Structure 1
């Protein structure tokens, strides 16, 4: 849902600037911060729990950059490919392949 909401907010023109900054960068950062804010509020309410000590409230910048900015950045990149469905599917398929390989590898290592 967050990815769909994100690309619906992207201006069609990549050159549009927000507060003098590239719109993609501003929106990637804003959506990432919002998602982390939701996680922090859910954690404070006792509804959501982080499993790892390094993926917790003191390390919010880590969660913003690696947890969400990569996701929203790639979503913007794929969106900007326009009608090139072949390239879009290659990128999304490549990411899916990396996820499957990581899942299998980490599962065999006993980390999952």
Structure 2
């Protein structure tokens, strides 16, 4: 039996009571069994809900740790980008200097030859 089935049974009983303004004679043992089942289902539901809430709390803590790590990591990423840009600029300057000196040597070789 599922929680939905139990809920529907209880809802039907309430509807019958509301319709006739007095409880319908019912088998007491069935009612007791339904109430025990309902109590069991609700206890199971509460237990699982507590587990879900604990998981959500752990998830929030993990997300907070990730956000904090990203905040701390951001300046490091910026520093690495600046270093990379400076290195690329330096490499470009060295490359242009090498090209310029190679051109000068070529021109000097043509002038002497």
User: Normalising to structure 2: TM-score of the pair?
Assistant: 0.26
Structure showing greater radius of gyration is 2
Which one has a larger percent helix, Structure 1 or Structure 2?
2
Asked which structure has the greater RCO (Cα within 8 Å, sep 6+), the reply is: 1
